[in-house]
């Protein structure tokens, strides 16, 4: 038989605190992740495999978040890659990689930061692999995207917005 102070019988270290069943701790995490849209174009194959010029890579990305319900948001990481050589377009890849993010009991500013900085940081390595595989499957050397500092970009965006708001507040309203 277990003793009174045994860990297995006494799981509540502070019996005076009591259990109210309330779920009031802040929680955030990725519930699921998936490819929402993937387009791979190889418009000049097979001729493009013979081109000698090095292609220029144009990489564009965007982050979006939409609420699914009160506690779940869908975070979209949109990545467009275009490889153009002197002879023409080698390949074009468009990827929308998503994650369902669950959040509960987070202050608004922390929830916003999680949706637009932390969740993309978590999703990016998986989206990066999809891009590398798509480029390889199109017949080229895999494109290994460099890591992206989503937290730094998020802070930079916030600073730009604050500077714009400060400039708008300090600017004269206009002349009649």
pLDDT at 12 over 70: no
Query: Mean pLDDT for the chain?
Result: 87
Of 26 and 39, the one with more pLDDT: 39
Compute the C-alpha angle 123/121/31, nearest 5°.
Answer: 45
Return the closest-CA partner of residue 79 out of 97, 56, 99. 97
What value does the CA radius of gyration of the chain take, rounded to a whole number of Å? 24
Token output for 85:
């050589």
Above 80 in pLDDT, residue 79?
yes
pLDDT > 90? residue 5: no
Contact 81, 133 (CB under 8 A): no
Give the pTM.
0.78
First to last CA, the chain: 88
Per-residue pLDDT, averaged over 15-41, amounts to 82
pLDDT > 90 fraction of the chain, expressed in percent and rounded: 74
- C-beta separation of 137 from 131 below 8 A: no
Instruction: Tell me the C-alpha to C-alpha distance, in Å, between residue 102 and each of 33, 76, 115, 122.
Output: 12, 14, 10, 13
Dump the DSSP string for 145-166. Answer: PPP--HHHHHHHHHHHHHHHHH
Q: Tell me: the pLDDT tens digits for 137-167? A: 999 999 999 999 999 999 999 999 888 888 8
Question: Which residues, listed in sequence order, are joined to residue 38 by a DSSP beta bridge?
Answer: 95
CATH class of 27-148: alpha beta
Place of tokens 């270290």: 13
| pLDDT score of 176 | 47
For residue 117, pLDDT beyond 90: yes
């Amino acid at each position: 038989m277990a003793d009174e102070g045994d860990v297995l019988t006494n799981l509540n270290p502070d019996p005076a605190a009591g259990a109210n069943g309330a779920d009031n701790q802040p929680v955030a995490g990725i519930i699921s992740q998936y490819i929402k849209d993937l387009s791979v174009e190889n418009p000049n194959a097979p001729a493009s495999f013979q081109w000698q010029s090095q292609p220029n890579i144009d990489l564009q990305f965007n982050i979006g978040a939409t609420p699914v319900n009160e506690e779940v948001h869908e975070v979209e990481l949109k990545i467009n890659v275009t490889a153009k050589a002197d002879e023409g377009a080698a390949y074009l890849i468009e990827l929308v990689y998503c994650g369902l993010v669950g959040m509960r009991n987070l202050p608004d500013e922390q929830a916003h930061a999680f949706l637009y900085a932390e969740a993309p940081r978590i999703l990016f390595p998986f989206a990066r692999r999809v891009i590398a595989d798509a480029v390889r499957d199109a017949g080229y050397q895999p494109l290994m995207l460099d890591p992206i500092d989503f937290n730094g970009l998020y802070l930079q965006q916030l600073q730009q917005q604050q500077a714009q708001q400060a400039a708008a507040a300090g600017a004269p309203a206009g002349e009649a």
